Structure 1
């Protein structure tokens, strides 16, 4: 029996229609969020070129070198994607020691929302001054490393969630080390990277020659005055107005006797929180809810799409010592890194409470570190130097604290020369 073709759906037409719709969607998405893997790689290449780093790519999508016709003093480095399992890899910058005969290996791990490109001001000088090979990595699920699904079971307890997140980073770093057959390393971690590097050193001390914690997050306990706010999202109630009960002479005497008394920091903080205006209290509660739902800053940037670059522009504008070209390159790199698929960035709300206090502070966990440890803080760092100094003094292994002058939390960018000089002393001095 002959069947007329018109009685059957035109599959070719449907496929073309579906393909057309898909292409329209892709075009709209690309317009709204103008990023891609290739654009992110180009921005990485560009920011590193600002630091006179000449890249050759090993087993990556791109194979050409950076081109600097007018420069002949570039630092040569390799960019690799190092597998950590059958599906995932860690983006790795490798700078071989110029003498080629050292057993030392410095491994640099970046902070949250950053990538290995944030050390563009340091690689050249470190490569020329350190008696060490240098590896700089993007944490798995961040930077230009692969972006596996990072699913948090909201039914689990905080303890279970934190353990899951910490194992994700610590074990991926260990697999990376195994893949490159690095026996021992000087492990440097900045901020979030310092937190995870501490836990790695605690679990695998035999693999650590020295630990360098650059303004690590999560060291102190949550101050008593802020626990209701960061744990429950609640502001302290205002004090009821009290009438004066002392005669004026007594009050004056009391003031005179205590004029040089140092105001208790917790009480001062409480008083400030009591007087926060209503609109800011409401905003803080919204932020608290979003944080507890594991929404990341990168999620917000992706939500704003092509306008997300305004956030990165504003962030890098504080690096006033940079040229305009350097600021633009860093902002572009930061935008493309943040705009990639969401992955392990969601760990930030797991391991930290709002205002960057750790759910399980390092102060109570790494007192038994078995490796020499150095803490680095910027002179105007927003991290708690006193907590770091206290932890450093409590360690049973050789430990010290350094303050980098004219620098804040990102001391490797604020004062590259000062940071590089201190790091060179740490790396080059044998134990």
Structure 2
């Protein structure tokens, strides 16, 4: 059955078979036997509460992307929104209307950050739908409600995730160029995707991106690590043995309370939409997203990062390879822990096709800290892409007088 497979692929198949067996056993255990108070059903309920705050209709569904890491039938959880058809205004003919429809506007694809999922875009989706384009958001493989196969290690892990995005795009039927927006770890994957599939991306929006600093910056950090006291180096070594959120799952029944105590800021961010006292569901959602068994998304992140959370393959070193037809917008929070200097360095390297925006008073979660300003910046990018991609081609042999006449007709 497995003849001809490499030892690595064979090992991945064995591991994933064990994972499937674990899921089966867990599903047959009663709730009181579970150490962690979570399940796929609890995650469904939590997400439904979070998405109930959206004002516009949406579709959510799984997209089967096939075999990944030795596991068949992997699925990516997807949220899709389509703008309402606008009625013709007086004096506007059908051809003029067609020029402004969602069919001609590049769709917006949104990739969440580490330990997140599609539900945390709720402060943005309704507003961005007003840009009159289709919107897609999905849970990265290994996170949220997407499948959780064990991915390859090291550089191959990034390739697996990029390939999963491309397969998702193909299965969804997204054949036109799109604006690709990623936050934090999702921004890293968005940039990696744009490098591998430049023909698919019209504009890259990197919101407080993780993994940008160059190798030279990493070396500076490593030199600093050597100067750390012995106890700090020992703690660092111990932490590296576990996935980033292992403590949340180890906390068992105390996990939900732990999220409440450690991230009260998340609740405050979403109270502006849900109302005071009604945003607890967002913390429940975060807990259930990250307390699910098999944290393969965390394992993937860990294999792509150094012990201190820096990317092993920094994106700044690779940005000069980005196709010249792709424009880039960085959106940083002025109070974020993410260094925005790499964004300005990218602008210095690539020139005017790069724009760097800083939202004053915002932290790492720029999409939620000042959702109105964030949505405005993203909408500006989308409208600029509409004009750029749908602008009529200008014949270089055409005279200035003919060109003016054409534009005024």
TM-score where L is the length of structure 1: 0.72
- 1:199 paired with 2:207, answer no
Unpaired stretches in structure 2, ≥5 consecutive residues: 1-24, 67-71, 86-100, 389-409
* Cα distance per residue 1:354-406 (max 9 Å; x no partner): 33211121111121211111111011111111121111321257111111122
> Corresponding residue for 1:403?
358
For this pair of structures, how many residues does the alignment match?
330
Question: Are the aligned partners of 1:298 and 1:345 in contact in 2 as well (CA < 8 Å)?
Answer: yes
> Corresponding residue for 1:308?
255
Q: Secondary structure at the match of 2:60?
A: strand
Question: Are the aligned partners of 2:346 and 2:354 in contact in 1 as well (CA < 8 Å)?
Answer: no
Question: Deviation of residue 23 (structure 1)?
Answer: 9.6
- Give the alignment of 1:22-421 within 5 angstroms: 26-30=30-34, 32-49=35-52, 52-53=53-54, 74-85=55-66, 86-99=72-85, 101-103=102-104, 104-127=106-129, 129-150=130-151, 161-183=153-175, 184-221=177-214, 222-228=217-223, 234-236=225-227, 281-291=230-240, 293=241, 295-319=242-266, 320-321=268-269, 322=271, 323-341=275-293, 342-370=295-323, 371-395=326-350, 398-421=353-376
Distance 1:373 1:22 in 2: 45
Question: Are the aligned partners of 1:317 and 1:327 in contact in 2 as well (CA < 8 Å)?
Answer: no
Question: Are the aligned partners of 1:380 and 1:406 in contact in 2 as well (CA < 8 Å)?
Answer: yes
Distance 1:392-1:204 versus aligned 2 partners, 3 A rule: same
* Cα distance per residue 1:192-217 (max 9 Å; x no partner): 01111111100100000111111111
Question: Are the aligned partners of 2:244 and 2:302 in contact in 1 as well (CA < 8 Å)?
Answer: no
Distance 1:344 1:224 in 2: 26
Unpaired stretches in structure 1, ≥5 consecutive residues: 1-20, 54-73, 153-160, 237-272
Distance 1:289 1:395 in 2: 40
Q: CA RMSD in A?
A: 2.2
Question: Deviation of residue 81 (structure 1)?
Answer: 0.6
Q: Secondary structure at the match of 2:123?
A: coil
Question: Deviation of residue 132 (structure 1)?
Answer: 1.3
Distance 2:65 2:380 in 1: 32
Distance 1:392-1:354 versus aligned 2 partners, 3 A rule: farther
Question: Which has more radius of gyration?
Answer: 1
Question: Deviation of residue 326 (structure 1)?
Answer: 4.4
Question: Deviation of residue 110 (structure 1)?
Answer: 0.3
Distance 1:25 1:177 in 2: 36
* Cα distance per residue 1:13-69 (max 9 Å; x no partner): xxxxxxxx9999644433x211111110110111122xx32xxxxxxxxxxxxxxxx
Question: Are the aligned partners of 2:38 and 2:291 in contact in 1 as well (CA < 8 Å)?
Answer: yes
Distance 1:425-1:22 versus aligned 2 partners, 3 A rule: closer
Q: Secondary structure at the match of 1:364?
A: coil
Distance 1:186 1:288 in 2: 40
Distance 2:249 2:351 in 1: 45
Question: Deviation of residue 313 (structure 1)?
Answer: 1.4
Question: Deviation of residue 181 (structure 1)?
Answer: 1.4
Larger deviation: 208-217 or 312-321? 312-321
Question: Deviation of residue 177 (structure 1)?
Answer: 0.3
Distance 1:313-1:402 versus aligned 2 partners, 3 A rule: same
Question: Are the aligned partners of 2:102 and 2:134 in contact in 1 as well (CA < 8 Å)?
Answer: no
Q: Which consecutive aligned stretches of 4+ in structure 1 deviate over 4 angstroms post-superposition?
A: 21-25
